[in-house]
Structure formats: C-alpha cells, structure tokens
Copies of this chain bind each other. A is one copy, B any other.
Amino acid sequence: MSEYVAPIKDMQFALRELAGLDDLAALPGCEDVSPDLVDAILEEAAKFAGGMLSPLNQTGDREGCRLVGNEVTTPSGWKEAYLQFAESGWTAVAAEAEHGGQGLPTVVSTVLNEMWKAANLAFSLCPMLTNGAIEALVLRGSDALKHTFLDRMVSGEWTGTMNLTEPQAGSDLSAVRTRAEPQADDTYRIFGQKIFITYGEHDLTPNIVHLVLARLPDAPEGVKGISLFVVPKFLVNADGSLGLRNDVRCVSLEHKLGIHGSPTCVMAYGDEGGAVGYLVGQANHGLAIMFIMMNAARFAVGLEGVAIAERAWQRALAFAKERVQGYDPADKSGTRVPIIRHPDVQRMLMLMKSQTEAMRALAYVVAAATDRAERHPDELTRTRAQGFVDLMIPVVKGWCTETGIEVASLGVQVHGGMGYIEETGAAQYLRDARITTIYEGTTAIQANDFIGRKIARDKGAAIGLVLAEMRETAATCTVIGGENFGRIGASLNAGANALTSSVVWLLRTFPELPGEAYASSVPLLRLAGIVFGGWQMARAALAAHRRVGAGANDKDFLEAKINTARFYADHVLSQADGIAHCVINGAAVTLASGLADT
C-alpha cells in the first residue's frame, strides 16, 4: 500500500490557469488570499492528508465501526486523527470569520476537500456532513441556535449530521413521516426513525448536532409540510456545558459494500418520550432549506469522484511501474519489463489520468464560479456565475461520480489478480466509490434536475452561453492547429455539436413528452460531462501551450498536459456522437419496453 500524495502541481495548474485564482484573490473579502498563502495551505493540507489520514484509510476499512449498546466505536486511530484535524483548524476553513471560521474562498476549500476525500473518504464524510449542518444553521438558524451550536461545530468540537432518509423516503423526501410535536416552551418533541445517517453516532466528539427533517401535526401533505429541526445528542445548558442525554439513539449500523470506516446509522428518535428538537427557519420550509444547501452537498459528493479517481490512479501507476510481467514486443533482448510498458496498461492509465484531470478542472472552475457568484461586485457577473454554477452542479455530481467508479474499476484491472485481493487497496477504492452515484441524489436525480430546472426552465440560456464559450475554445485550438491542437479543436467542436443537438431535442421534447425527456436525461448528463470535461482539457492544453511559448521551465508537465488533452479527445470525447444518438433516438424505445406492466 502506497500512501496518498496530493497532486499539488496539477491542483495549482487547475487553480491558476483554469479557475482563475488570481482574479478571485481580487474579490472583496479575498484580499488576503495571496498565491503564496494558498500554496502554503495546500502544502500543509497535503502533509496532513498523506501523513495522517491516508494511513488510516485501509486499516479503517478493515476494522470498520462497532456498535455496542447505542455507542459506536470508530476504527483505531480515528479519534486521534479527528482531534488533530480539528486542532489544526481544518474544520474551520470554509466558515466565515464571525463564526470562528477562516473564510477561505470555496475554490481553496475545494482543493483541501479533494485531499481529505482522496486520503480517506470514510473519514472525510464526518467534516463534510458537519459543513452541511453548519451551512443550514448559518442560513436559517436563530441567533440562539447559532450561539449554542455554531462556533463549536466550526471549531470541530462537535460534529453535525443530516437526517433526511427514512425507510419509505429515500429519493422521495415528500414521504417523510418523522413527527415533531410542539411543546409549551417552544421546543418540539421528535419521534421517528431515520436511516442511512452518516456519522449519526460516533466517539470522536462529546456531542453530535443532528439536523432532522420532520412533520408538524398540522403540516400539509408532501414536500410543503416538512420542517427542519436541530436535535443534539446531549442538550446544552445555558452556560454551554453539556446537559441531559437527548432521546435519540443509534440502534443499528448498516453492513455496507464500502466506506466501512464511516458509521452508517439507523437512528431512533423519541423511543423514551420524545427527542428535544429546535425548529430551524420557518415551519414547513425544511425542504427549501435543504435545497439551498443542496448545491454545496452535491458538489462535495461530485468531488469525491475526482478524489477517488486520483487515489486509484496513483495506486495503479505505482503498481504498473513495480510489477514486472511479460515482454515489450519492441524489445528483442527478452528482458521482462514492468507492465507499464504494455500498451493496454498505458491506455488504461491514460484513461484514468485524463478523466481525473478533466473532472478536477471542471470541479475547480465551478468552485471558482461559486466564489464569483457570492462575492463579485458586479451584479450581472454574480448572476451569470450563479447560473453557471446551477447548471454545472448536477454535472459535477453525476458525471464525476460515475467516472470515478469507472476509474476505480480500471485501477483494479491494472493490478490484475492482485487487484482482486483486498491487501493492495485497489478494490477498496472501487467499493468506496460505488456509493457516490447514489447518495446525495442518484445520477438520475441529478440528470432530471439538469434537464428540467437547469436547461428546460431557462430555455437553454445558461447552457447556450457555455456552448458558445466551448466553440470559442475549439476555434482557438483549431487556429493553433498541428496534430494535437487540430484534433483537440475538431473533437471539442464535434462534442459541442452533439451536445447542441441533444439540447435542441430536449427543449422541444420536454414540454410535450416529458417521459421521453426523462428517459434520456442520464445519457444527456453523461454527454454534457464528457463534453464539459473536454472543454476544460482543451483550455488546459491552451494554457500549457501559452506557457511553453513563454519559456516556462516545467516543459515536461506542460507537454504531458497537451498530450493528455489529446488522449481525452480521441478516447473519451469521441463517444459524444454515439451518446447524442442515444439521447435523441433512444427514448421512445425505452418507454416502449413494457417492463412496468410485466
């Protein structure tokens, strides 16, 4: 097992050349975010990720979590790592200074999050969920709730959870049945069962702050009758000390395919008279609050795809260099060679590398747009940036996670028989990755959001802007020409055409035959991901070309970037036409399957 080494050079390249870090540093509130500071933060984070979190990844997977009574024990070393994570200030990176945070731009915290996720996905889920809970309280929590809970979650002293799912309410949260009964003292008593609660119980911190979706007695049916509550594991006294144990307990842990280090809990609320809860925001507006938080949560899971792909690629590359097997047909000496000399191993590794870099680039560009949408002084720029973010979130979530699984599976394949043995770690990445297309909204949920709210609703305006930009990028490549840029440009142009035809089809189909539109939503999302990824790879190649022209001294890195973009164009982007065919011509036959009637 090799440990994770954060790919700082590629991260910096994507930050500077593609996400526009220097421009971001000029935004209000980001004046202190100098390139040197960012570099220093990345270096420190890389040390923590590689030195502390990565070594616990495989041991945590093997050991898993244990439930005794209602108490969960996390794997050995987990608690020490968490305490050091919080002490080092990593939990406080993204929050605003007024809550004890460091207020770093999203694009910077995104890079850090990629590192935690790559080093130890199961561990990283705890701060990720806590961030979600923090955001909900920042957005809609009363001053009292903020006062009691927020600072201690930002500091990492306590963690947070999101309690949404119930056995009958998964993708469909309108089916939530957990009840909240109002009390005379303005608190509520919560009753019900929640499932799939990540870090719902653990031994890392003395308190856990649950955010819980539940229904008030007079609530309307469906999505408009769901409210959000804070339910702490321990009530908090007026002086901030921990008070009574609340009536919420972990009653079971799920036996999962992966992320074994992360406890996935069944939580029982109110078995002994009702769990004390506090309303967050307005009654019956719980799902709306969830929706506000959703962009960040979905983006974070999309980033898991990038992170696991990076980890799997590193592992596979190292193995391919070490493992000696067979001969190079071009070498007549008869010396056995490392398998990286075999053409198909190179093909697999390049598929891993090129897609990982494409995903990372898109994710960072979207993160940067989040910062612009939040902080840019010009309103039109803010609005456009938000439109871009909204369009891209389901793509980052859906495409990066699906591709992350593909890359992790390729990583197993590169290892041959050793990949199937848990010892090497390659199989764990695949097992861990497999949840990412499911939680925080399945790929189909992302795709339906993409075609409905993000394309059809604005009649293709936001995606039209992106398509126009992509054509410009393609034209620039074509002008440079030559074997690499000619091909990158032509392939991006073809991709943009395929995506345009699919969007035109969608805009015509969605209002009239929504079933057909939904039948093609996932292929359309996949097409968009592949083409947007190709766009970023083309931009990366252009930036590399500029820097080589300007005499940059990291020529090997920059030329590899151009070659990787070309590989992506011929091996990944070349699928665009076939997928567009499937989008446009494949829907009717799907609906004609008759499967639902069998």
Which residues of B are found within 8 Å of A592, using beta-carbon distances? 563
With A409-B434, A417-B439, A514-B330 already in contact, the answer to whether A256 and B589 are too (CB < 8 A) is no
- CB-CB under 8 A from A566, the residues of chain B are 589
CB 8 Å contact bits of A224-264 with B (1 = contact, 0 = none): 00000000000000000000000000000011111000000
With contacts A417-B438, A438-B416 taken as known, whether A170 is within 8 angstroms of B578 at the C-beta atoms is no
Interface string of A409-421 (1 = CB under 8 A from B): 1001100110111
Asked whether A417 lies within 8 Å of B170 as measured between CB atoms, the reply is: yes
- A476 → chain B, closest Cβ, in Å? 20
Among B321, B327, B343, point to the contact of A515 (Cβ < 8 A): B343
A427 at the interface (CB under 8 A from B): yes
A455-486: CB near B (< 8 Å → 1, else 0) gives: 00000000000000000000000000000000
Docked-complex contact B417 and A591, CB < 8 angstroms: no
In the complex, A155 has a CB within 8 A of chain B: no
- Residues of B near A320 (CB, < 8 A) are 595
Q: Contact at B405–A419, with CB atoms within 8 Å?
A: no
Q: Is residue A497 within 8 Å, beta carbon to beta carbon, of the partner chain?
A: no
Q: A77 near B: Cβ within 8 Å? A: no
B595 touches A340 (CB 8 A): yes
A285 within 8 A of B: no
Are the CB atoms of A521 and B344 closer together than 8 Å?
yes
Q: Are A405's CB and B416's CB within 8 A?
A: no
Enumerate chain B residues within 8 angstroms of A596, measured Cβ to Cβ. 338, 340-341, 346
Residues B409 and A438 in contact, CB atoms below 8 Å apart: no
Which stretch from A111-119, A358-366, A440-448, A541-549 is at the chain B interface?
A440-448
| Interchain CA distance A405-B413 in the complex, whole Å | 12
A329 touches B (CB below 8 Å): yes
Q: Give a binary string over A489-518; 1 marks a CB under 8 Å from any B CB, 0 the rest.
A: 000000000000000000000000011101
Inter-subunit contact B422/A438 (CB<8 Å): no
| Chain A 560-598 interface 0/1 with B at a Cβ cutoff of 8 Å (1 = within) | 100110110011001111110110011101111111101
Chain A, interface residues (CB within 8 Å), range: 35 or more
Q: Which residues of B contact A438 (CB under 8 A)?
A: 412-413, 416-417, 419-420
> Quick one: which of A196, A430, A560, A586 has the most chain B CB within 10 A?
A586
Docked complex Cα distance between A430 and B434 (Å): 10
The answer to whether A344 and B447 have CB atoms under 8 Å apart is yes
Proximity bits, A296-337, B CB within 8 Å = 1, else 0: 000000000000000000000100110011110110000010
* A196 contact from B343, B345, B417, Cβ within 8 A: B417
CB–CB B254/A421 < 8 A: yes
Q: Tell me which residues across on chain B come within 8 A of A575, comparing CB atoms.
A: 575, 578-579
Judged by a CB distance under 8 angstroms, whether A110 is at the interface is: no
Contact between A325 and B577 (Cβ–Cβ < 8 Å)? no
**Which residues of A from 422 to 440 have beta carbons under 8 Å from B?**
422-423, 427, 430-431, 434-435, 437-439
Minimum Cβ distance to chain B for residue A397 (Å): 14
Closest to A196 in B: B417
A168: interface (CB < 8 Å):
yes
* Docked-complex contact A593 and B567, CB < 8 angstroms: yes
Contact residues in B for A175 (Cβ distance below 8 Å):
325, 336
Given A518-B329, A595-B340, residue A350 in contact with residue B434 (CB < 8 A):
no
Q: Is the CB of B256 within 8 A of A329?
A: no
Q: Is the CB of B325 within 8 A of A172?
A: yes
Contacts of A560 in B (CB 8 A): 593-594
Q: How far is the CA of A168 from the CA of B196 in the complex (A)?
A: 43
Contacts of A435 in B (CB 8 A): 420
Q: Which residues of B contact A317 (CB under 8 A)?
A: 595, 598
A95 within 8 A of B: no
Closest to A175 in B: B336
* CB of A129 closer than 8 Å to a CB of B: no
Question: Whole-angstrom distance from the CB of A358 to the nearest CB of chain B?
Answer: 15
Q: Does A349 contact B (CB under 8 A)?
A: yes
Q: Does A536 contact B (CB under 8 A)?
A: no
Contacts of A255 in B (CB 8 A): 421-423
User: Closest CB of chain B to A355's CB: distance in Å?
Assistant: 14
Question: Is A99 part of the contact surface with B, judged by Cβ < 8 Å?
Answer: no
A567 and B589 form a contact (CB under 8 A): yes
A126 at the interface (CB under 8 A from B): no
Q: Which chain B residue shows the least CB distance to A568?
A: B589
Asked if residues A420 and B444 are in contact (CB atoms below 8 Å), the reply is no
Q: Could you say which of B487, B522, B577 contacts A578, with CB atoms under 8 Å apart? A: B577
> Is there a chain B Cβ closer than 8 Å to A147's Cβ?
no
Q: Could you tell me the distance in whole angstroms from the C-beta of A1 to the nearest C-beta in chain B?
A: 14
> A485–B146 Cα gap in the complex (Å)?
65
Top 4 closest pairs, chain A to chain B, by CB: A343-B519, A344-B444, A343-B518, A578-B578
List, sorted by A's number, 7 A–B pairs whose CB atoms are closer than 8 Å.
A172-B327, A255-B421, A255-B422, A343-B519, A344-B522, A567-B589, A571-B586
Interface residues of A (CB under 8 A from B): 165, 168, 170-172, 175, 196, 254-258, 317, 320-321, 324-327, 329-330, 336, 338, 340-347, 349-350, 353, 405, 409, 412-413, 416-417, 419-423, 427, 430-431, 434-435, 437-439, 442-444, 447-448, 487, 514-516, 518-519, 521-523, 556, 560, 563-564, 566-567, 570-571, 574-579, 581-582, 585-587, 589-596, 598
